Amino acid sequence: MSEFFAMGGYGLYVWGSYGVTALVIVAEIVWVVQRRKVLLKRLARMSRLTKG
């Protein structure tokens, strides 16, 4: 198991690559979901204001 994580001495480079890839992908997903939430809230408020 620890041999797997060591990646033949290249662990830092290999996991640094895969780790950051995973991180930015998760960040992008969180970002767009958040964007939609905020947007829908704003539109709902707009719709309440116009229709009373």
Partner 1 sequence: MAFAGINWFKYSSPATFYPLAGKMMPWFAGLAAVLTVIGLYMSFFVAPTDYKQGEAYRIMFIHVPAAWMSMFIYVVMAVYAAMGLIFNTRLSAMMASSLAPTGALFTFLALWTGALWGKPMWGTWWVWDARLTTELILLFLYIGFMSLEAAIDDPRRATRASGLLAIVGVVNVPIIYFSVEWWNTLHQGASISLDKAPSMATIMLASMLVMTLAFWMYTIAMVLYRVRCEILERERHSEWVVALMEERK
Binding positions for partner 1, rule: CB under 8 A: 4, 7-10, 12-14, 16-18, 20-21, 24-25, 28-29, 32, 35-36, 39-40, 43-44, 46-48, 50-51
Structure tokens at 4: 């797997």
Q: How far is the CB of 32 from partner 1 (least distance, A)?
A: 5
Structure tokens at 26: 């998760």
Place of tokens 């990646």: 7
Integer Cα distance of 34 and 2 in angstroms: 37
Q: How far is the CB of 41 from partner 1 (least distance, A)?
A: 11
Q: How far is the CB of 23 from partner 1 (least distance, A)?
A: 10
Structure tokens at 50: 């116009």
